Amino acid sequence: MSSKTVVVVWVAAMALVAGGCTRETRTPDKGPQSNNAQSNNTSTTTPSTGSGGSSPGSTAPGNAAPKAPGKARLLPLKADPAARATLVRGLNTLTARLYKAHGSAEKSVILSPFSAGAAMALLALGGDDELAARIAKGIGMPAGMTGHQAFAELVARLGAGSRDEGDQKADALAIANSLWIKRGYPLNGAFTSELAHYYGASASTMDVSRPEKARARINAWAAKKTRQKIKEAIPPSMIKPTTRLLLVNAVYLKARWQDKFDKGLTAPKPFHTAGGATPKVQTMHARCPDALRYHYNKHAEVVRLPYRYIGRNVGLEMALMLPPKGRSIGDFVAALTPDRLAEILDAKHAVAPPKALIKKTTRVLYGSSIYNAGKRKSEAHTKRPLCVDLALPRFTTNTFVGQLGTLLAGVGFKDVFFVPKLTRISPAAARDKLKATRAVQKAFIMVDELGTVAAAVTAVGAAGAGMPSSQRVDLDLRDMRFDRPFAYVIREVKSGLILFIGHVAKP
């Protein structure tokens, strides 16, 4: 079983400008609430006005009246296929760029640029037309509400097969969004309606005068959505008196391999790090697994390991990428571009592997194994049916990116942060010069063989009708050992959407 969880947190924080301050109504803190019942044209909360102050909806001395956001822009959640394809290409481009920008090859890394893109899409709904267009361009999503329509349909399909979040044993791909508002701060109903409609985002209040209490509540939400895998999404000192709102996106994945790793074959094996050390790490082994796919190109050898379906139509796979000998993981990351990543992952660009990598052997194969060995032959361009004996280390990686906004500014979002153009969020946005000021991401991944034990039990239960036919087959064999730094992605097979990307420098 392998579990991957990611939380992305976005903060919009700003200071009140001179010209009056607002005394806020002291309403009780509330948990996440649905926004579907909100009016399209009214604020969700209204602060009271003290002496010398002004209501957020009115014009403060010296300030122009904020432009009304208009009605909520709600489209049916059925997108054009071309719009969906454009969105996936854009998100995968963002994935390659953000992974390269992070650039840390010395340590193991796990990122979810998909989650970062989702959080940016939430932010776009609060921006004026100019800022929304900048964000859409950075994500690579279609302009206007068509992009949100495509995002909403994609997220809904990905999460359709997941069970209740309280069931930590079940396979799941769950995506959740929430909005946390300073208590008493007004929101435009059109903004909250759009968040709820396209992204299912719930709204909650927080008391920024008690930042640790507010942080604990948001962290509790993130922990619940990630099945307790990430408990500290919001770092200390992130919530300040000037904070007005936080947008939080959480992605959780737990999936079992289609083909098992035999736990009895797991053993300590050397792993050759970039620094020259060779620690022994627990390494899983699988002999010619049926579902494995293999191909080779000049940039990397690729092994694709499918997971069992989540629901009826969500098929995921992990693609492991091993750079050629003599090239480090740092070289691999430095040379990566969106086009190169797409080329590496696409078996259509495969070429025949060097003869030195392939051995000749003869094995007895059963049933579907014969067919799959032949299928691998065509993808890998080998002379005979291909078997791959796989050695893969268990690994666990935690990554915290405290300055994600800085990285994003360098990969297409240059004029998004510290720009006071979030005018659709609140009637007080223009007065307060509301802007996004910080973004962070915390991610976790664990890969092991436990889930395949459950899958093996299922397979044994289904095999009670008798042994399949066997045949002795002359094979090409690739002894594929991930015993030095390698990269990986987890993606949805149908669309090609990459959900996670990372590398293992040392298990």
Q: Confidence class of residue 162 from pLDDT cuts 50, 70 and 90?
A: low
Q: Confidence class of residue 14 from pLDDT cuts 50, 70 and 90?
A: very low
pLDDT of residue 129: 93
Least confident of 10-24, 96-110, 224-238, 273-287: 10-24
φ, ψ (nearest 5 deg) of residue 93:
-65, -45
Least confident of 4-13, 51-60, 179-188, 475-484: 51-60
pLDDT of residue 448: 85
> In the predicted model, is pLDDT for residue 235 greater than 70?
yes
pLDDT of residue 223: 86
pLDDT of residue 442: 86
> In the predicted model, is pLDDT for residue 128 greater than 80?
yes
Least confident of 84-93, 314-323, 449-458, 484-493: 449-458
CA angle 195, 418, 424 (to 5 degrees): 30
Q: Confidence class of residue 131 from pLDDT cuts 50, 70 and 90?
A: very high
C-alpha to C-alpha distance for 201 and 177, rounded to whole angstroms:
5
pLDDT of residue 280: 97
Average pLDDT, the chain: 79
Exposure letters 139-162 (e unless 16+ CB within 10 A, then b) = bbbbeebbbbbbbbbbbebbbebb
Position with higher pLDDT, 398 vs 366: 398
C-alpha to C-alpha distance for 460 and 457, rounded to whole angstroms:
5
The string of DSSP letters for 350-403 reads: --PPPGGGEEEEEEEEETHHHHHHHHHHHHHT-SS-EEEEEEEE-EEEEEEETT
Instruction: Calculate mean pLDDT across residues 266-272.
Output: 96
Q: Confidence class of residue 163 from pLDDT cuts 50, 70 and 90?
A: low
pLDDT of residue 393: 96
C-alpha to C-alpha distance for 346 and 461, rounded to whole angstroms:
35
Strands 202-206 vs 172-182: parallel, antiparallel or unpaired? parallel
C-alpha to C-alpha distance for 228 and 219, rounded to whole angstroms:
10
Least confident of 36-50, 57-71, 100-114, 367-381: 36-50
Chain segment 53-104, per-residue pLDDT in tens: 333 333 333 334 445 567 888 888 888 899 999 999 999 999 999 999 997 8
Chain segment 405-443, per-residue pLDDT in tens: 888 989 999 888 888 888 999 898 888 888 888 888 888
Percent of the chain clearing pLDDT 90 (strictly above): 38
pLDDT of residue 57: 34
Which overall architecture, per CATH, does domain 2-16+66-255+396-446 show? 2-Layer Sandwich (3.30)
Instruction: Calculate mean pLDDT across residues 36-58.
Output: 36
Fold matches, 2-16+66-255+396-446 and 263-395+449-459+468-504: no
Fold held by 263-395+449-459+468-504: Alpha-1-antitrypsin; domain 1 (2.30.39)
Domain ranges of the chain: 2-16+66-255+396-446, 263-395+449-459+468-504
pLDDT of residue 236: 85
Instruction: Calculate mean pLDDT across residues 333-357.
Output: 93
pLDDT of residue 104: 81
pLDDT of residue 367: 61
